[in-house]
């Protein structure tokens, strides 16, 4: 299990839930429900990481939860 932050939100443009992994550029997926989007995103993360390894690209360390300042 990877410990990257995943952000899930509704997209009116796509009429679907979107799950994004900000630390893995371009890594995102969609689904009809938040659960579908999350499941699809986990698959996308595996593919992203496998592809990065295959091409010898650097893989960022998970930072976990982002800090937000008021």
State how far the Cα of 70 lies from the Cα of 3, in Å rounded to an integer.
25
Mean pLDDT of the region 18-25: 95
Structure tokens at 23: 């630390």
Mean pLDDT of the region 6-30: 96
Mean pLDDT of the region 21-27: 95
- Whether the pLDDT of residue 70 is over 70: the answer is no
| pTM score | 0.84
- Whether the pLDDT of residue 67 is over 60: the answer is no
CA angle centred on 23, ends 45 and 37, rounded to 5°: 45
Phi, psi for 16 (deg, rounded to 5): -155, 160
- Whether the pLDDT of residue 1 is over 80: the answer is no
Q: What is the CA radius of gyration of the chain?
A: 13
């Amino acid at each position: 299990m990877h410990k990257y932050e995943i952000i899930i939100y509704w997209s009116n443009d796509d009429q679907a839930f979107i799950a994004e992994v900000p630390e893995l550029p371009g890594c995102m997926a969609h689904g009809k429900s938040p659960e579908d989007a999350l499941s699809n995103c986990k698959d996308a993360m595996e593919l992203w990481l496998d592809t990065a390894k295959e091409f010898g690209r650097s893989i960022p360390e998970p930072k976990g939860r982002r800090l937000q300042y008021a």
